[in-house]
């Protein structure tokens, strides 16, 4: 693929747009970002807060610890963190610089300030609205479709910013419909590493650090450590354990940032950490590792494009299949090995549902990575799932489109039911 081609520039830009740093689970951070921006526009500390959130946002904020809050959990806590200590200009690192004094103020604010949470259903999967009040004054910020996409800023009836929302289209981002497996493969094998070095180097650095912390500490269900204790330290187990350990830490109190993919830190870690671990084991060159990571990240984004950022379809499935492609590439696989790895992996794990961000995400990640590795090993041993096997159809892109239909349209009712269960669960 030539640098002058449209897809070359688009693929470089897609990596830059998607592989960005974030503090832990991205939905609470997006909520904190909206709240920080609303407080900034209001110009003073609010005495009342109203939060509007779609069901999928509620699902992903309900059970996860908000970073830098001394283990506060839930929607009011996420908004409060943004109001008290948020720096809106830092976007998904909005609450990266929180002091102990800020944490004390958060607890006081939560105890003394009315905070109303409303479940809204405007036909958008990703919807956050935060309105902050001080006496008769108010400011409102609305985010839709992706984590930093502010479409409305309003103060005392005056609209300071208003962007028309066209359904769930992600305006302002590079066109993801330009992604296809053959073009991704061509890009990966021809890209000038200098064009993608910085973004992938940061992914290696950030995600490796939180994975190592997950194995050192005591986080959640410690899935990464359990895997190593149970299965030993062979490369397949280490690949699963490193990804799971990153999620262990991220979901359960670790303050380290991660580099996300498709709006998700879990997905960013899943499509990078197993590839990094295999690269170490195989002692490949730095260049080959970077090409493998570009492949894994773009394949994950390609799959998620059809599904959407939030769904009842577990994003780790896509990321695990993508990691399998990066591993296949590192092991010397060509286009046939890579594409069949994706199809095989999706056939194995496409039934896993997303029931929000929490400790068990690490176990799902381990299962998804295992499916990616198994998908590759099946093909090199002459085994594969064929067209007509469930949702598998002829052609890798067609199978990915089927998965997109399943995750976006077919699982809408499933998502609604999951949300209903979680909203009414008082445990």
Each domain of the chain, given as residue ranges in start order, spans 24-162, 179-424
Range of 92-106, 290-304, 405-419 with top mean pLDDT: 290-304
Q: Yes or no: say if 26 and 56 are a contact pair by the CB < 8 Å rule.
A: no
CA–CA distance, 275 with 86 (Å, rounded to integer):
34
Select the CATH number that applies to the domain covering 24-162 from these four: 3.40.50.10490, 3.40.50.720, 1.20.1260.60, 3.30.1330.90.
Answer: 3.30.1330.90
Per-residue pLDDT tens over the stretch 168-209:
777 778 998 999 999 999 999 999 999 999 999 999 999 999
Q: Are 330 and 275 in contact (CB under 8 A)?
A: yes
When pLDDT is averaged across residues 307-331 and rounded to a whole number, the result is 93
pLDDT of 302 strictly over 90: yes
Q: Cα–Cα distance between 59 and 101 in angstroms, integer?
A: 29
Q: Please tell me the predicted confidence (pLDDT) of residue 427.
A: 39
Contacts of 305 (CB under 8 A, 6+ apart): 176, 177, 179, 404
Positive or negative CA dihedral for 308, 309, 312, 315? positive
Closest Cα to residue 309, out of 148, 418, 130, 187?
148
User: In degrees rounded to 5, what are phi and psi of residue 138?
Assistant: -150, 160
Calpha distance 80→86 (Å, rounded): 9
- End-to-end CA separation in angstroms for the chain: 54
Reply yes or no on whether the pLDDT at 402 is more than 70.
Answer: yes
CA-to-CA distance for 171 and 178, rounded, in angstroms? 15
pLDDT at 229: 94
Least confident of 69-78, 162-171, 324-333: 162-171
| Residue of 340, 314, 306, 347 whose CA lies nearest to 325 | 340
What separation in angstroms does the CA of 267 have from each of 306, 309, 317, 426?
16, 11, 9, 28
CATH architecture of 179-424: Orthogonal Bundle (1.10)
- Alpha-carbon distance of 10 to 24, in angstroms, equals 27
pLDDT band at 24 (very low <50, low <70, confident <90, very high): low
Residue positions counted in the chain: 427
Give the pLDDT score at 93.
85
Helix axis angle for 335-349 and 315-330, nearest 10°, is 150
Q: How far is residue 396 from each of residues 370, 421, 424, measured CA to CA in Å? A: 20, 35, 40
Q: How confident is the model at residue 425 (pLDDT cuts 50, 70, 90)?
A: low
Who wins on pLDDT, 393 or 146?
393
Each residue's pLDDT tens digit, 127-160: 999 999 999 999 999 999 888 889 999 999 999 9
Residue 387 predicted with pLDDT over 60? yes
Spatial separation of the C-alpha atoms in residues 137 and 174, rounded to whole Å: 37
Residue 43 has pLDDT above 50, yes or no: yes
Q: Are 179 and 305 in contact (CB under 8 A)?
A: yes
Residue 40 has pLDDT above 70, yes or no: yes
pLDDT at 426: 47
CA dist., res. 280 & res. 353, Å (int): 32
Indicate the burial class of 334 (C-beta count within 10 angstroms; 0-12, 13-18, 19 or more): exposed
User: Model confidence over 201-239: pLDDT tens digits?
Assistant: 999 999 999 999 999 999 989 999 999 999 989 999 999
Which pLDDT band, with edges at 50, 70 and 90, does 47 fall under? very high
CB 34 within 8 A of CB 142: yes
Q: How do strand 48-53 and strand 115-119 relate by DSSP bridges?
A: parallel
Cα 230 to Cα 34, 226, 241, 243, 326, distances in angstroms: 43, 6, 11, 16, 25
pLDDT in tens, 243-287: 999 999 988 878 888 999 988 889 999 999 999 999 999 999 999
Average pLDDT over residues 362-379: 95
């Amino acid at each position: 693929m030539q640098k002058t081609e449209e897809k070359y520039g688009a693929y470089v830009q897609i990596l830059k747009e998607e592989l960005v740093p974030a503090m832990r689970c991205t939905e609470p951070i997006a909520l904190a970002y909206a709240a920080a921006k609303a407080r900034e526009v209001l110009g003073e500390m609010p005495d009342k807060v109203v939060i509007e959130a779609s069901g999928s946002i509620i699902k992903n904020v309900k059970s996860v610890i908000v970073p830098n809050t001394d283990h506060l959990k839930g929607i009011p806590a996420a908004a409060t963190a943004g109001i008290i200590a948020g720096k809106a200009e830092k976007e998904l690192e909005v609450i990266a610089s929180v002091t102990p004094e800020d944490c004390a103020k958060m607890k006081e604010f939560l105890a003394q300030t009315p905070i109303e949470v409303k479940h809204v259903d405007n036909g958008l999967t990703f919807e956050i609205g935060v309105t902050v009040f001080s006496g008769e004054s108010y400011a409102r910020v609305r985010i839709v479709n992706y984590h930093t996409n502010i479409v409305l800023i309003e103060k005392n009836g005056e609209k300071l910013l208003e962007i028309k929302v066209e359904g769930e289209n992600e305006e302002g981002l590079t066109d993801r419909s330009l992604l296809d497996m053959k073009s991704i493969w061509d890009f990966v094998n021809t890209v000038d590493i200098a064009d993608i070095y910085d973004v992938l180097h940061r992914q290696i650095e950030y995600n490796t650090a939180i994975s190592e912390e997950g194995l050192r500490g005591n986080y959640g269900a410690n899935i990464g450590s359990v895997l190593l204790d149970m299965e030993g330290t062979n490369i397949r187990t280490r690949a699963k354990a490193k990804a799971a350990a990153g999620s262990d830490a991220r979901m359960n109190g670790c303050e380290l940032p991660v580099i996300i993919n498709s709006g998700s830190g879990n997905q960013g870690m899943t499509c990078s950490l197993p590839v990094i671990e295999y690269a170490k084991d195989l002692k490949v060159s730095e260049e080959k590792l970077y090409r493998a990571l570009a492949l894994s990240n773009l394949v994950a984004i390609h799959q998620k494009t059809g599904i959407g950022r939030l769904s009842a379809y577990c994003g780790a499935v896509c990321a695990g299949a993508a990691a399998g492609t990066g591993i296949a590439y590192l092991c010397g696989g060509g286009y046939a090995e890579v594409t069949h790895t994706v199809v095989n992996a999706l056939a194995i794990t496409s039934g896993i549902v997303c029931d929000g961000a929490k400790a068990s995400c690490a176990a799902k990640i381990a299962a998804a990575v295992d499916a990616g590795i198994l998908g590759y090993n099946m093909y090199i041993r002459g085994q594969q799932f064929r067209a007509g096997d469930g949702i598998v159809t002829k052609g890798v892109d067609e199978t990915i489109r089927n998965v997109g239909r399943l995750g976006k349209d077919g699982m809408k009712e499933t998502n609604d039911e999951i949300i209903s269960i979680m909203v009414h669960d008082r445990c």
